[in-house]
Amino acid sequence: MTGNVEINIDGKALTLPTLVGSEGEIGIDITSLRNQTGCITIDPAYGNTGSCESSITFIDGETGILRYRGYDIAELAGKSTFVETAYLLIYGELPTRPQLAEFSELLTENQMLHEGMRFHFESFPPTAHPMAILSAMINAASSYHPNIINKREERFPYHAARLISQVRTIAAFSHRKAKGLPAIYPKTNLKYTANFLHMMFSHPGEDLELQPEIVKALDLIFLLHADHEQNCSTSTVRMVASSRANLFASASAGVCALWGPLHGGANQAVLEMLKEIHDEGDDGSKFLAQVKAKVGNRRLMGFGHRVYKNFDPRAVIIKQQCDKVLAQLHKSDPLLDIAKKLEEIALNDDYFVSRKLYPNVDFYSGIIMRAIGIPLDMFTVMFAIGRMPGWIANYKEVMEDPDSRIARPRQIYTGPTLRTYQPIEQRQ
């Protein structure tokens, strides 16, 4: 469904077409604006700009809706798995049993890294951040598979499976490298998330005892983060893909964008806040009072969301799993106690409720990951593993769009006008 809208620029009427999405959202198509008027739009941070049409993910932030390919996130969280959801995002439909088996087999076949990549890991200093390693090693992995560089599209299912599978292997190896531990190789008899935990925490000759609730909780974290519409990192992947860069290079760029503390680092910021509260000998009550009074530039991390104006639907889902994990582990952890206190106060205090500052997915995912032993500097890496299917789906959408053009934003220049070069001895 399309329509038109009229705008007036310097007394000249201009008719622009509108596009209406399948959920009723309306976009004004300004493709011809500059050619017809010489004007461009200005929208810092692109908060009001649609960069593409996409059939992957739908978000309604006003009512707290998140759907992958039309499926409600709560239904997928309760009935699906990360691997099945990854297939859904990339290929558009839930897989049949044979399709899921084939996809799972591709993941297993491609989970090993080329042995030559061990030398790349050894070149990083012990202080290297896991996200730096992850970004670099994703690019390095593509070097061992020339078909990726050559963009042979018929090989896309293999490249997609290879990337989803190897990103967890790279992540686990980078963690063990930082800790000075020997690498643990993946097992063919373990499923995706269980295999990742095995590579993270097993020791040579002593496999990790995998607890179903722990595996389920981490799988749920991956699933809930699998895509989230046109966020910073996904938009980065699409922009790099628009140049026809290969899949691994585009995903590596997504990792770099995700690394920022305003994006993928949000769950890490939650734990840093909890540690700060604990170091001050507070149970969270004093901290929240200071937040309300706007004392000392206190910031409540993990509450509220830029997109969701009501509540984060992912938080409602993950809270239940968080409670199960904490109950099973019987862990005594002062930071987790503080987190519970913050949650209790914020959910019952009108100051936070009236402002709709509810705990978001980052709050609960950070608590779960700390409880199961994921190091703080690996939190954003967990986000990257989960987000990989969404990045791949968006990459695929760009590549399959016959009207796709290289992304090239405009600007309003505010610098000096024409100046004359002055010899250095005449400059003041």
Q: Which residues are catalytic?
A: 305, 362
List Cα–Cα distances, 237 to 146, 321, 399, in angstroms: 20, 30, 12
The Cα 346–Cα 407 span in angstroms is 42
Rounded CA separation 22/215 (Å): 36
The Cα 229–Cα 226 span in angstroms is 10
Residue 176 Cα to chain centre, angstroms = 23
Three-class DSSP category at 197: helix
User: Would you say 166 and 110 are in contact if contact means Cβ atoms under 8 Å apart?
Assistant: yes
The residues with which 65 forms a beta bridge, in sequence order, are 60
Q: What tokens does 66 get? A: 């998140």
CA distance 108 to 296: 51
- Judging by beta carbons within 10 Å of its beta carbon (0-12, 13-18, 19+), is residue 194 exposed, middle or buried? buried
Check residue 46 and give left, alpha or beta (phi > 0: left; psi -120 to 50: alpha): left
- How many angstroms separate the first and last alpha carbons of the chain? 62
Q: Is 2 helix (H, G, I), strand (E, B) or coil?
A: strand
Q: Which amino acid is at 20?
A: V
Q: What is the DSSP letter of 265?
A: T
| Residue that has been written with the tokens 């964008």 in this structure | 257
Count, residues in the chain: 428
Tokens of 98: 């044979």
Q: Do 132 and 260 form a contact (C-beta atoms < 8 A)?
A: no
Distance CA 314, CA 412 (A): 38
| Distance separating alpha carbons of residues 15 and 302, to the nearest angstrom | 43
Contacts of residue 306, Cβ cutoff 8 Å, sequence gap at least 6 = none
3-state secondary structure of 27: strand
Q: How many helices (H) and strands (E) does the chain have?
A: 19, 6
- Which of 222, 320, 340 minimizes the C-alpha distance to 274? 340
